[in-house]
Amino acid sequence: MTATEGCTIFAVDYDLGREGYAYHDLDVANYRTSDPREQGGNRGRMYRNDGVDIFAGNAPDGNGYYVGRAEEGEWLKYTLDVADEGDYLLTVCESPDGVKWTTHPVSTLHLAAGNSPLTYSIETTGANIAWLRLEPVK
């Protein structure tokens, strides 16, 4: 990501890793059972095989998937490769129902050059998130 361009991060492209490291989901998966109704985990059964609920959707500028039914207290971690240190405006594309999408600014973040972690915390139960966008503040 360069300071002049910014970037869009699809919500479903959080870091790879286990629960508590790459994400925190209150509905954790149980892969020790052969009954899919008892496994929990990804309730949308799409895109990834971990505990985050992912569904197919048509958010504007999206990739066809979104993190859905998120609950307050859950979070997603992204590792960014930042070319230029600086302040970036974080904007999110969300929907209360997975159909009507809106975008709104969340906050301004100061990111250091190199690998910078970004943890997006869910503050509202029922959130559906399509993407995050970081754009340089001028």
pLDDT of residue 43: 66
pLDDT of residue 134: 95
Spans of the chain below 70 pLDDT: 1-4, 28-45
Q: How many CA atoms lie within 13 A of 27 on its CB side?
A: 16
Q: In this structure, are residues 19 and 83 in contact, taking their beta carbons and an 8 Å threshold?
A: no
The residues with which 93 forms a beta bridge, in sequence order, are 103, 131
* Whole-number Cα distances in Å, 113 to 47, 58, 134: 30, 33, 14
User: What is the 3-state composition of the chain as percent helix, strand, coil, each rounded to the nearest 5?
Assistant: 5, 45, 50
Q: In this structure, are residues 118 and 85 in contact, taking their beta carbons and an 8 Å threshold?
A: no
CA separation for the pair 35, 119 (Å, rounded): 33
Domains in the chain with CATH codes: 7-136 (2.60.120.260)
pLDDT of residue 35: 58
